[in-house]
Amino acid sequence: METRKPPSLPRVLLVEDDTISQAYFRAVLEALPAAVDAVTTQACALARAETVRHDLWLVDLNLPDGSGPDLLQRLRARWPQPPPALAHTADADPAVRVAALQAGFRDVLVKPLATAELAGAVRSALADAGDLPDWDNAAAAMALNHDPANVQALRRLFLEELPGARDEVLSSARRGDAGALRSRLHRLQAGCGLVGARRLGAAVELLRRTPESMTALDRFDHAARDLLR
């Protein structure tokens, strides 16, 4: 019997100089799961990026030896086809957010961050880069007490209901019914977590965060249709 090589974990470059915050970020990221390269300075980040291709850059906007936007510019000079980048900061000033987005960050996360918010933003960014699998068997097994029969049964039920759920999401989004969209996405996200529909779950989270985005809606549609093939 041929032995399949397990898929490699997405690799995240975490740039955070605060010890407590770095430990928290690492714990959340590794639970996704993801492999984490954690550094504390711009110089260390650049050195690490010289030898490793990351799937996501998660960068503090204020570093001991420079700024997050400056680091992003230098990382992109090293990698002309860069991965998505998320900024994090303790500064909730809207002007800081606007400047970071203009510098090229995909989103700005304001600390302190809830675990669900951090995990959701990272999953969405990785899904945007195409790095998440359709099915996460380990997550499904953990959610359902490691019972393969339960996993398969719930996945069958999930796939039976998915066409209707997809139609409801698309219809609500296109007619601008934010309440119906939010409600349907909430229920669908719970199901994705139980059955390990990882890429669709990330697309649902992205659409929940940016319901006005046609890109997010298209990403959701593609992820749902891929599961239904």
At 107, phi and psi to the nearest 5? -160, 165
Res 216: pLDDT: 78
Same domain for 78 and 17: yes
Same domain for 166 and 85: no
Under 8 Å between Cβ of 221 and 199 = no
Give the β-pairing of 107-110 and 35-39: unpaired
pLDDT higher at 209 or 227: 227
Same domain for 151 and 57: no
Give helix then strand counts, H and E, for the chain.
10, 7
Same domain for 123 and 145: no
CA-atom Rg of the chain in angstroms: 18
Last residue of a domain, one of 128, 149, 180: 128
In a domain, residue 6? The reply is no
In the chain, how many domains are there? 2
**88 is in which domain, residue-wise?**
11-128
Same domain for 21 and 47: yes
217-229 pLDDT tens trace:
888 998 899 888 8
Q: What is the mean pLDDT of the chain?
A: 87
Last residue of a domain, one of 111, 128, 145: 128
In a domain, residue 102? The reply is yes
The CA distance from 152 to 219, in Å, is 25
Q: Would you place residue 131 in the very low, low, confident or very high pLDDT band (cuts 50, 70, 90)?
A: low
In a domain, residue 22? The reply is yes
Res 222: pLDDT: 86
Same domain for 173 and 73: no
44-95 pLDDT tens trace:
999 999 888 899 999 999 999 999 999 999 999 888 778 899 999 999 999 9
In this prediction, what percent of the chain has a pLDDT beyond 90? Answer: 52
Same domain for 154 and 120: no
Same domain for 103 and 192: no
In a domain, residue 97? The reply is yes
In a domain, residue 58? The reply is yes
12-28 pLDDT tens trace:
999 999 999 999 999 99
Same domain for 61 and 148: no
Under 8 Å between Cβ of 170 and 217 = yes
> Given a cut of 80, is residue 132 above it in pLDDT?
no
